């Protein structure tokens, strides 16, 4: 368990994986450690509904959804879909990206049918937003199409209940690496 101050752009964040967790919030680290130690399952506690609700009470801000965090493959995935910059300021996913990310880029297929929104999110990581709709999932541009446009890894967060998006990312070779909940975003 690591406890740090809240990062820029979020009031708090909880990130966890197999037997590790990272809590970033402007709260007393002893409160976090005491709460986790007293939980019935300290390993699972940081992303539990009870802890997230308690952290919400401490910070005065509601937690977001607990998302699966995935990282893109480094090897190309066939077929490569040609991308071009798009100007879509009224698209709801683009508007949301501007509220939660920096360096937002909007790309899409030449016919404009699939929209890819990229931006820098938590810890400055490049993040890809999920498909614009379930029927677009199979035509959504993939990380290898975008790799020349970003420096470093490409990440995605997906609500586990969004099965169409989860299947799309897994089929594109993304790997699940952890889970996270952002507060106050």
Query: What contacts 154, CB < 8 A, 6 or more positions away?
Result: 71, 72, 118, 126, 127, 128, 143, 146, 147
Mean predicted confidence (pLDDT) in 30-47:
94
pLDDT in tens, 107-144: 777 777 667 788 888 888 888 865 544 444 444 445 44
Q: Cβ(24)–Cβ(4) under 8 Å?
A: yes
pLDDT in tens, 81-115: 667 788 888 888 888 888 878 888 887 777 776 67
Beta strands in the chain (DSSP E): 2-4, 12-17, 20-25, 67-71, 84-85, 102-108, 115-120, 126-128, 154-158, 175-183
Six-digit token string for 109: 């297929």
């Amino acid at each position: 368990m690591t406890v740090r101050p809240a990062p820029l752009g979020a009031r708090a964040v909880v990130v966890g994986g197999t037997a590790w967790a990272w809590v970033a919030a402007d709260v007393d680290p002893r409160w976090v450690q005491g709460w986790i130690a007293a939980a019935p399952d300290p390993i699972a506690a940081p992303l539990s509904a009870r802890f997230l609700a308690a952290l919400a009470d401490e910070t005065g801000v509601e937690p977001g959804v607990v998302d699966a965090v995935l990282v893109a493959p480094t090897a190309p995935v066939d077929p490569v879909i040609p991308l071009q910059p798009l100007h879509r300021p009224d698209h709801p996913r683009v508007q949301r990206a501007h509220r939660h990310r920096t360096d937002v880029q909007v790309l899409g297929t030449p016919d404009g049918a699939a929209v890819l929104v990229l931006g820098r999110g938590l810890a400055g990581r490049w993040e890809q937003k999920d498909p614009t709709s379930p029927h677009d999932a199979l035509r959504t541009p993939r990380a290898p199409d975008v790799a020349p446009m970003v420096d470093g890894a490409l990440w995605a967060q997906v609500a586990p209940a969004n099965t169409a998006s989860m299947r799309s990312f897994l089929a594109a070779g993304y790997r699940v690496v952890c889970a996270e909940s952002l507060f106050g975003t």
